[in-house]
Structure 1
């Protein structure tokens, strides 16, 4: 499990931190470290990288303050470092109007990379809600995600839950140009 001194939320505030989390490979490394510490070798195996590439990306995450060494051990004269996330969740700044939503881009990339014959639950619903209903639904989605995060067991396969509740831009045209 992650270190006991792990904070609840890491707020991305610098350009260096934003660049670190904006990379899909580093996003996947952070997913590996979400529940338990791992060595560079373990990270490389789980993400499908060479050890050198894994080490490079972990160093950038460590420099940005997103991961840290939580323990070391000596193996055949070499110090093996175990890395873990510094916080349970990451809060990104608002991308601003027209800015890319990094988390959604990574989520879509992970969805597209997942086995096509694997079990998935993907749905999009267009709703018409009052401001109160919108706020209530957002709170319920957050609570549901938090409830299941507490049930997470590192020995089980990874599962990703992504949701986006938002008001689309006014006058936005659906794909294909039809309205």
Structure 2
């Protein structure tokens, strides 16, 4: 029996602006909890079971995310005299401050890639190139559109997939040296294209 009515839909975005919020999103465990909650509301016990966490650890991390305003209680239910709380994302997207965003996101993406079973489908590629400011902006817009398209086509009943993108200007000791190179890796049995 649900004791509280379903919560309002989540906001479009929550901006990480405080130290408490930044600490909350910087943890790999909390990143994975947010991943579980992407699939829908869950209790502390359900999150603990999905991530193989102790219930106390799950509770600690969920409460930090809630205090930081990144997740919220969306419903409660009485079970044998105990109130279960169902948590969900407070917003559809978490927006990190620009200098921190890439560091946190890429660390978490690499950790998730390393934790994935070695025989799961994957495509990993590193491309170096020299491009004009205009081409850089054009590729940035195209990558953003591709990420939006993937997000818009998500189907909760399907298997999870992650697309991580880092497109940046690296430190360049030889700005005029004309070099392009590609490094590509695929899952076992896949042939590079």
TM-score (norm 2): 0.82
CA contact (8 A) 1:3 1:84 kept: no
**Aligned counterpart in structure 2 of residue 20 of structure 1, from 11, 17, 24:** 24
Q: C-alpha distance in 1, partners of 2:141/2:42?
A: 33
CA contact (8 A) 2:7 2:75 kept: no
- The structural deviation recorded for 1:60 is 0.4
- The structural deviation recorded for 1:159 is 1.0
Q: C-alpha distance in 2, partners of 1:3/1:109?
A: 32
- Number of residue pairs matched by the alignment: 169
Q: C-alpha distance in 2, partners of 1:20/1:147?
A: 28
TM-score (norm 1): 0.88
Give the structure with the larger strand fraction.
Answer: 2
Aligned to 2:55: 51
1:127 aligns with 2:129: yes
Q: C-alpha distance in 2, partners of 1:35/1:52?
A: 22
CA contact (8 A) 2:74 2:88 kept: yes
Q: C-alpha distance in 1, partners of 2:149/2:39?
A: 15
Q: C-alpha distance in 2, partners of 1:3/1:122?
A: 39
1:119 is paired with a residue whose SS is coil
CA contact (8 A) 2:76 2:83 kept: yes
Aligned to 1:163: 165
Larger radius of gyration: 2
* Consecutive unaligned residues in structure 2, runs of 5 or more: 1-5, 175-193
Mapping 1:88-107, distance limit 5 Å: 88-95=92-99, 101-107=103-109
Greater than 6 Å deviation, 4+ residue runs: none
* Consecutive unaligned residues in structure 1, runs of 5 or more: 173-179
CA contact (8 A) 2:102 2:166 kept: no
Q: C-alpha distance in 2, partners of 1:76/1:152?
A: 36
Q: Structure 2 vs 1, CA of residues 118 and 144 (structure 1 numbering), >3 Å: closer, same or farther?
A: same
1:65 aligns with 2:69: yes
Between 7-16 and 17-26, report the one with greater CA deviation.
7-16
Cα shift readout 1:118-167 (whole Å, capped 9, x = no counterpart) = 11111011122221211111111111111111221222221111001100
Q: C-alpha distance in 1, partners of 2:153/2:102?
A: 31
Aligned to 1:152: 154
1:11 aligns with 2:15: yes
CA contact (8 A) 2:44 2:58 kept: yes
